[in-house]
Each structure stands twice: as structure tokens, then as C-alpha cells.
Amino acid sequence: MRDTRTDATQTATLGGLLYAAALRNPQGIALRESATGRYVRYFELEEQANRLASKWIDWGIGPGHRIGIWLPKSIESVATIHGSLRTGAAHVPVDPQAPPARAATIFSLAGLSAVVIHWQFVDGLRAAWPIERLSELPRLIIVGDHSKEMSGQDLNWSDLMAGSPVESILPIDQPATDLAYILFTSGSTGQPKGVMLTHENAWCFLDWCDREIAPTGHDIFASHAPLHFDLSVFDLYASVRHAAELVLIDESLAKEPVRLGAYLKTSSISVWYSAPSILAMMVDHGRLSEAVESTLKPWPGPRITLFAGEVFPVGPLKALRKIWPDSIFWNLYGPTETNVCTAFKAPENLEDLEAPLPIGPVCEPLTGRVVDEQGADVTQGEEGELVIYGPRVMAGYFGREDLTESAFFRASDGRKWYRTGDLVRMDQTGAYHFHGRRDRMVKKRGYRIELGEIESAIYRNEAVGRAAVVAIQSEAHGLRISAFVAMKPDRPASIIALKRHCSTFLPHYMIPDDVKFLPELPTTSTDKVDYPALKKLAESLG
């Protein structure tokens, strides 16, 4: 054993979870890939994480460092997360389907010491890396394709895993206030912003989950959310905390309701967590109510069904309750900056439900208030902004003290309250009801999207004269994002070309659903874009 590593079972940090699980259930299946059927047992996952941690420690990586992850969801990506935590470093995952420019921007902003990357992304990362920061290009561990050209500092994953045995690296004894991971979300200025989450933030959430949701080591968890999305925090750590199995739903299956519904009906998954839109699509197209061939009976559904990230429309929710009558439904709410901060356990009978479920009371030990624009409490039942205080609130935005400062307000008692930007009302039971946003941020399939970032990407096209983006919500089609564009004189207007341009800078879920070209955009008397007029136009165009 080396350094200051100590018994992993004594400290409330994420770095000890895998070590403890491997001791407790070494032969238990830790991870299973839906796409390939590959699986690893806990002792094998521990060995992979240990090899990574040993190499990174040799490179001088530890607390205060950051490790990037650009991989499809896989055994390797989860092993990388645990290996990073084992060193005391924080990990920074990016969307595996993100354009290279976005991934390179995030990694450059995060100041990484190393990146674990799939071989197909290597050339894109090198080409998109900012020229002025070429000397800061991190060392790479490349997964797949042994023939990939590597620099003298890079390593191949397979070579690392097949190397000589390494001594066991015990989890580092570090403060719970150290960073565990940074999740980059959409930013209104056109640049992603990194939400810094500590071990304490995550551990507080896991404690609440154990008390209220009560997962067990006999459960089989599904990992539907991408690893750069905050919903994945529950899947990753609640499963390993109980030394249970986690099924990694691959990106292709995750978006196809027919295949996903069929997979669920033939699997043994007992804990499901996703955005409501995924569940709604499976209700409509996943054939969930059809009998399973092996039993000739409908699949009764998971033991626990969690959903978060957006409003669950009443119709699909009631239909899902009929299909899965015995599943325990939880409506979870919270921005990335707080993870889950309120929760509502749905009643068994939803027949009389006419409005969306409440987002629930605040999860202990957090505290919530509903305030006006000056930060004063509103009267019960009055609409205001939800603000949150407590140990689950982020440390701030990485490298952006200005954004961090504006995200909080300090009350007279000295407490710093996080401004969620969400408008809510509290009912007589103490549960909050969601009533929209104060700013131009929307959520689509659980992803947080700043409409201003989409506009910034469109403006990178030199042929664009003026652009504006609006979002329209409907019960039939969910959220649709529409871009209105006025081209410069004599410049051609092409929907295909503009969407292709957006795909260079934005992840797929941020690319506008509709693009409308106008001779000029409607404006106010001060020559600002008239967004209400554009929303009406978008609604009229369907």
C-alpha cells in the first residue's frame, strides 16, 4: 500500500465506494452492457480502476487535478470514473456524440491532466484543440484500435490493462469538500459552464436516496442517462454503494422506444430512472402492455420508477401507471447545481389527476424558500422563484467566479441561497408546483438548454444577419425549439446547411427542430428581438 491511503469504508467520499463493494461482493456482477452483453464482476472492475489510478498517480495526478472522459457509455467509461475518484482527482465527462469543437472547448476550459478517449475521437480532439493552448493538450489513454498513432506520452487502454500487476491503490483520505466531478451544461453566453460538485454534494444525495427511495443490493439498476448528465449520478453511485448490478443502456437503444420497451420486458431491471419523455415514448410506442412471450403475461414493470428533468404530461403518466400499477413512482426535481432537491412520491391511484404532479417538498437536509425578485419571501400559494440552501448545492462554476456570484444571493443571516430560476408555488401540504422559468433556459428530454447558446452558434455563420430562438411546449409534441433567421443580403437560405453548421458547435439535442427564414425579425421599439411575437409565430406555424 502507498501514500496516505486509508481504509475506504470510513470516509464519506465517492472514491471508497467501489473498493468497499469489491470487498463485500467480489463475484457479483458490477456492470453489464446492453449492446454487447459484456459484463464485469466487482473484483474485475476494481482491478481496472486500480490500474488506472496507479498510472495516474505515477503521472503526478491527484487531488486538485481533473481527468476528462470522452467515451461511449461502457465498462471502460465507468472504470475511468472510479479510477479518477481513487486518485482524489475530479472527472469531467463529455457527451460522446458532441462535436469535437465542443468537447475540446470543455476540456480546455477544465484544465485537464489526462483524458480517456475512444480512438474514433482522437483526431477530432487534436484538430479542434485551441491553437493558443497546444502546449496544454492533456495526455491520452486511448480505448480501442491498437494501430492508432499515439504521441510519446499517450497510452493504449488494452496495453495498460494487460501490463504487469500493480500494487493495490487504496482510496485517498480527502476532505468531503473536494471536487468529485464537473458537469458542463449549456451556457447563455454561448460557452458551456462547468458545475463543480463535491463528494459532500453527492454523498448527501445518496444518503437521502437510501432513506426515502430505499434501493437494495438485490436490485438491478438501469443506467439510461448519459454520463455527462446529472441523472446518471444516482445510477452510478447508488448501485455501487449497494454492490448491486448496473445495466448500461447504450446510446442507440436509449432513444428507440420499441427496442427499449422490448429490452425492459425481457430484463430483470428493478430500478429505472430517466426523463419523462423517454417513458412517454415507451408508453406510446414501446408496447409495454403487450405480453412477454416467455410468460404470456405483461411485464409488471420495475420495482421503482424515477423520473426527472422535465414535466411529465398527465396523459402518458396515467397510462404508464395503468401498465405498471405496482411500481413506486417518484417525481424528482433539481437543476444540475443541486442534483435532486425536491421530490414527490406519486400516489398509487392517478385516475383523478388533472394537472402535472407536484415536484414535492424539499429533500432533507436541504432548505427551500420561494422568493420575489428582491429575495423576499412570498406568501404561501403565491408564485415566486425557488431558492435552495444546504450541503447538496454546488461549489460554483469552474473558473467563473462572476457566474457563481450571480447564481447566489446572501440573506441577512449570512446564508448563500442558490437561485434555481424556476418559478413555483407552495401548496398547503408544503409541496412545490412548477410554473416555468424566469430566464430563457428550457429543458428537453431532461437536458438543460440555454436558448442563447443556440443563438450564439447560429451567429458563427457569417451569412446570418440576425437570429433568434424560441421554445414552444405542447401536450402533443412536447418541447420544440424553433430558430428564426434573417440572412445577410444575397446570401442563400438553406435549412440543411444551417443545421449542419449548428451540428459543428452544438450537441444533437440542442440543434433546432425547426428553422424559419424571414426577411427580417420582428423587433421592439428599442430594436431588440420581439420574442413574444416570435413565439406566437412559432405556435401559428405548428
Q: What is the 3-state secondary structure (H, E, C) of 36-105?
A: CCCEEEHHHHHHHHHHHHHHHHHCCCCCCCEEEEECCCCHHHHHHHHHHHHHCCEEEECCCCCCHHHHHH
> pLDDT value at position 191?
83
The yes-or-no verdict on residue 11 having pLDDT over 60 is no
**Per residue in 332-352, pLDDT tens?**
999 999 999 999 999 999 999
> pLDDT value at position 289?
86
Q: Which helix (H) or strand (E) holds 502?
A: helix 495-505
Confidence of residue 4 (pLDDT cuts 50, 70, 90): very low
> pLDDT value at position 527?
61
In terms of pLDDT, which residue wins out, 525 or 327?
327
What value does the mean pLDDT of the chain take? 91
Least confident of 21-25, 111-115, 178-182, 306-310: 306-310
The yes-or-no verdict on residue 294 having pLDDT over 70 is no
Q: What percent of the chain has pLDDT over 90?
A: 70
**Per residue in 47-101, pLDDT tens?**
999 999 999 999 999 999 999 999 999 999 999 999 999 999 999 999 999 899 9
The yes-or-no verdict on residue 120 having pLDDT over 70 is yes
Confidence of residue 542 (pLDDT cuts 50, 70, 90): low
> pLDDT value at position 498?
94
What is the average pLDDT across 115-144? 92
The yes-or-no verdict on residue 5 having pLDDT over 50 is no
Residue 255 φ/ψ region, left for φ over 0, alpha for ψ in the -120 to 50 degree band, beta for the rest: alpha
> pLDDT value at position 529?
81
Find residue 467's DSSP bridge partners. 485
Confidence of residue 495 (pLDDT cuts 50, 70, 90): very high
Confidence of residue 377 (pLDDT cuts 50, 70, 90): very high
- The percent helix, strand, coil of the chain (3-state, each to 5) is 30, 25, 40
Which domains can be identified in the chain, with CATH numbers? 42-174 (3.40.50.980), 442-541 (3.30.300.30)
The yes-or-no verdict on residue 296 having pLDDT over 50 is yes
Exposed, middle or buried, 81 (CB in 10 Å: 0-12/13-18/19+)? buried
The yes-or-no verdict on residue 36 having pLDDT over 90 is yes
> pLDDT value at position 291?
74
The yes-or-no verdict on residue 193 having pLDDT over 60 is yes
